[in-house]
Amino acid sequence: MQAGSKALNERRDMSQLIEIRWHARAGQGAVTAAKLVADSALMDGAYIQAMPEYGPERTGAPLRAYTRICSEPIEVHNNITNPGIVIVLDDTLLNSIDVLEGMSDDGTVILNTTMSPSEARKALKAPDAMKVAVVDATGIAMDTIKRDMPNTPIVGAFSKVTGIVPVEHVRERLKITFGKKFSPAIIDANLESVARAYEEVRL
Amino acid sequence: MSSEAFSATGNQMVADAFRQADPDVMAAYPITPQTTIVENYAKFVANGQVHTEFVTVESEHSAMSACIGASAAGGRVATATSSQGLALMWEELHIAAGMRCPIVMANANRAISAPINIHGDHSDIMGTRDTGWIILFAETAQEAYDNSIIAFKVAEDPRVLLPVMTTLDGFVTTHAMDRCVLEDDQTVAKFIGQYHPLYPLLDTDHPVAQGMFANLGNSFMKAKLQVRRTIEGSLDVIKEAGQSWSDICGRPFDIVDSWGTEDADYLIVALGSMAGNARHTARMLRAEGKKVGVVRPRVFRPFPAKEIAQACSHAKRIAVFDRSDSLGAQFAPLGAEVATSLYNEGLSIPVSNYVVGLGGADVTIDEIKSVYSDLADGTGSGTISYLGIQE
C-alpha cells in the first residue's frame, strides 16, 4: 500500500525504521553499497530507500549516502541526521568529518580500517554503549577484486554485525545487480569479498 | 497485473510509464535531474521496445516546439524537462495549451537560478501554473508512475484535450531508490487506449488551421475562456481516470490526500514528497496524543479548491508549506491557493505560510514539529516565513 492511501489512518509502527548513513569518498562505491543493502532487504519484503546526498561529483571528495529499511511504507524523505547505523568506507575521513554526528550512543559503527576495534573506538571517540566493528575491507578488496573497492566487502560485514539482511540475500542480490555489468570472474571476486568480510569483521 | 516489488528511481518509473504509453513522438533535451527519464527512454527506442520517433533537439524551446507540431499533426506526444529547461519552454507552454495539444510532459521539479542550484524545489513548476497545463504532483516514485499513466488518459480525453505535466521532486523522487511495482504492458495500453485526435493537421481530407490569429474583437477572450472552463472541468475527468486506474492497480488515487483531518486541530498542507515528511512527523505527534494532520493536493492545476476546503474545514489553524516563493506576493503559490479556497467556502481559519526546502534544503522532523507547535501557540497566522532561516 502506497502513501496516499486511506489506510494511512491506520496506526503504523515506525519504531522499526532502520536508518543507515554511509560515509565514503566519491569513487569508493558507497552508493552501490547503499543500494545493495536496500535491495537485499527488499528480497525479504521490506520497504526501502537508498540515495546519495547529491553534491559535486569529484573522485575522492567526501560524500554521504543513505539507506532506509522498514516493514512499513517509508514516508520520510529527508537526509538521515540521526542514524542508528553508520558505515565508514575510508578511515581517513575521521580526520575531517564527525561521522558519529547525530547518532544515539547505542548505535552501531562499521569502519573500513586496519585498526583494531579498541584503536577504532578511540579514534572515533565512540561512547561505551556504541557498537564499533572493524574490517579491512580495502585489504580484502585488493586480495579478491584486485581493486580498492571496499563497498561490496563491507556489505558482508554489515550483514554479520547487524543481522538486518542475511548474507545469502546480499550474495544473491549482488549476482543480479553485477550480472548486468560485469564478467563472472569479477562477480565471483566480489562474492568472495563479501564472504571474507563476513568472516573477518571484528567487534 | 502488478509486478513483484522491485527497487527503482522515480525517473525509471516515469520512463517505464512512457514506454507503456508508447507515444508516437518524443522530442526532448537533457537537463539534471530529468536526464535519466530521457536516457532510459532513448534505450527503449534503440532496443525497439517502443514505436516512438525520438527527435533530438538543440534546446528545450525546440523540444516543446517539436512536441506541439507533432501533437497538432495528430500524434501522441511526450517529453520531459526540469528547471531552466522548463523556463526556456515557457512561451511554448501557453501555445501547447492554447492549441489544445494533449502533450504529456514529466517535470523533475528543481530550483531556478540565480544563485545556481540543481536541487529539488517547486520554483520551476510554479512558474508555469498559469499556462493552461494540468499539473500533477507525485509524493513517491510509485505515484510518479501512476500519475504519468493517468496523465495520458486525461490529456487525450475528448472532454479535456489539454497538456498535462506529471511532476516529481528533483533528486528526492527522481533519483532516490524506492520500492515500486509496474503494471503489465497490456493493462496500461488498454487503460490509456488509442488516441483519436479530433482535428489532426495530417488529415488532409479534412483540412484545418490551428494556432490562428485572434487579434480583433473578443475572439481571443473566447478562446481563453474555453481553456479556463475546460481545465476546471478536467478535475472530474482526473477523478474518473484516477479512480479507474486505482480500481485496476489497487493503489489509491485521491485528488486531495487527507490524513488525520477528521479530528485534527492543526494541519500542514504540502505538495509532493514534502507531504511525506510532514505525515511521518504527524504520525510521531499523534502517538503523543497531539491532534495533527496533513493535507496533500495531488493535483495542483486545476486547483481542487472545494476538496481542500473540505479537508481543512475542521482545523483550528493551518500551515501551508511552499517549496517556492511568489516574490512580492502576500503568500507563496500554494499558500495563496489554500487561503482563497477557504475564503470562497466561507471558512475563516487562520493560515500561516512557510517557504520550505528551497534548492533542496532539508526540512527536518524537528522543524516540522516546530511548525505544529507554532500552530498550537497561534503564532505566525497571516504571515509568510522561511522555515529554518534566521532573519
Q: Total structural domains in chain B?
A: 2
- Chain mean position to CA A14: 20
Note whether B6 and B180 are within 8 A (CB): yes
Same domain for B155 and B241, yes or no, is yes
Q: Does A203 touch chain B (CB under 8 A)?
A: no
Q: Reply yes or no on whether the pLDDT at A79 is more than 70.
A: yes
What's the helix, strand, coil split of chain B in %, to 5? Answer: 40, 20, 40
Same domain for B296 and B236, yes or no, is no
Q: Which of B229, B249, B269 is the last residue of a domain?
A: B249
Q: Reply yes or no on whether the pLDDT at A38 is more than 90.
A: yes
Same domain for B136 and B228, yes or no, is yes
* A2-29 burial: b if 16+ Cβ within 10 Å, else e: bbbbeebeeebebeebbbbbbbbbbebb
Decide if B65 is inside a domain.
yes
Write the CA distances from B29 to A62, B54, B65, B86, integer angstroms: 31, 11, 12, 10
Q: Does A39 touch chain B (CB under 8 A)?
A: yes
Q: What is the amino acid identity at position B60?
A: E
Q: Domain containing B181 — which CATH number?
A: 3.40.50.970
Chain A residues with beta carbon closer than 8 angstroms to that of B275: 3
Angstroms from A78 CA to nearest CA on chain B = 6
Closest among B157, B155, B186 to B78, alpha carbons compared: B155
| Residue A12 pLDDT class (50, 70, 90 cuts) | low
pLDDT at residue A7, rounded to an integer? 40
Same domain for B99 and B186, yes or no, is yes
Low-confidence ranges of chain B (pLDDT < 70): none
pLDDT at residue A54, rounded to an integer? 77
Whole-structure pTM value: 0.96
Same domain for B200 and B291, yes or no, is no
Same domain for B213 and B186, yes or no, is yes
Structural domain range at position A156: 6-200
Average pLDDT for chain A: 92
Decide if B211 is inside a domain.
yes
Decide if B364 is inside a domain.
yes
Strands B134-137 and B299-301: antiparallel
Decide if B286 is inside a domain.
yes
The rounded distance, in Å, linking the Cα atoms of A144 and A157 is: 15
Angstroms from A116 CA to nearest CA on chain B = 34
Decide if B374 is inside a domain.
yes
Chain A residues with beta carbon closer than 8 angstroms to that of B360: 54
The rounded distance, in Å, linking the Cα atoms of B56 and B37 is: 14
pLDDT at residue A21, rounded to an integer? 98
Same domain for B146 and B223, yes or no, is yes
Residues B286-326 pLDDT 10s: 999 999 999 999 999 999 999 999 999 999 999 999 999 99
Same domain for B67 and B203, yes or no, is yes
Decide if B172 is inside a domain.
yes
Q: Collapsing DSSP states into helix, strand and coil, what is residue A98?
A: coil
Q: Which residue in this structure is represented by grid cell 567526501? A: A62
Angle value at C-alpha A180, between A176 and A185, nearest 5 degrees: 85
Q: Does A77 touch chain B (CB under 8 A)?
A: yes
Same domain for B227 and B89, yes or no, is yes
Decide if A111 is inside a domain.
yes
Ordered alpha helix ranges (H), chain A: 30-42, 117-124, 137-144, 151-162, 167-179, 184-200
Full DSSP string of B187-240: HHHHHH-----SS-TT-TTS----S----STTHHHHHHHHHHHHHHHHHHHHHH
Q: Domain containing A195 — which CATH number?
A: 3.40.920.10
Alpha-carbon dihedral angle through residues B86, B29, B117, B119, given to the nearest 10 degrees: 90
Full DSSP string of B311-378: HHTT-SEEEEEESS--TTSSS-HHHHHHHHHHHHTT----EEEEE--GGG----HHHHHHHHHHHHHT
Angstroms from B50 CA to nearest CA on chain A = 22
| Residue A14 pLDDT class (50, 70, 90 cuts) | low
Inter-chain residue contact B142 with A49, CB threshold 8 Å: no
Decide if A93 is inside a domain.
yes
Same domain for B300 and B151, yes or no, is no
Q: Reply yes or no on whether the pLDDT at A144 is more than 70.
A: yes
Q: Which of B249, B275, B308 is the last residue of a domain?
A: B249
Same domain for B213 and B298, yes or no, is no
Interface of B with A (CB under 8 A): 5-7, 118-119, 139-140, 142-143, 169, 171-173, 175-179, 251-254, 257, 259-260, 273-277, 279-281, 283-284, 296, 298, 360, 362-365
Q: Does A1 touch chain B (CB under 8 A)?
A: yes
Same domain for B221 and B275, yes or no, is no
Q: Reply yes or no on whether the pLDDT at A8 is more than 60.
A: no
Closest among B137, B114, B142 to B126, alpha carbons compared: B137
pLDDT at residue B324, rounded to an integer? 98
Write the CA distances from A100 to A55, A67, A123, A126, B67, integer angstroms: 20, 16, 11, 8, 50
Q: Which of B222, B249, B276 is the last residue of a domain?
A: B249
**Mean pLDDT, residues A21-38 taken together:** 96
Cβ neighbours for B116, distance < 8 A, ≥ 6 positions apart:
none
The strand pairing partners of A111, in sequence order, are A88, A134
Structural domain range at position B277: 256-386
Decide if B1 is inside a domain.
no
Q: Reply yes or no on whether the pLDDT at A5 is more than 50.
A: no
Q: Domain containing B287 — which CATH number?
A: 3.40.50.920
Inter-chain residue contact A77 with B277, CB threshold 8 Å: yes
Q: Which residue in this structure is represented by grid cell 496524543? A: B289
Decide if A168 is inside a domain.
yes
Angstroms from A75 CA to nearest CA on chain B = 5
Decide if B391 is inside a domain.
no
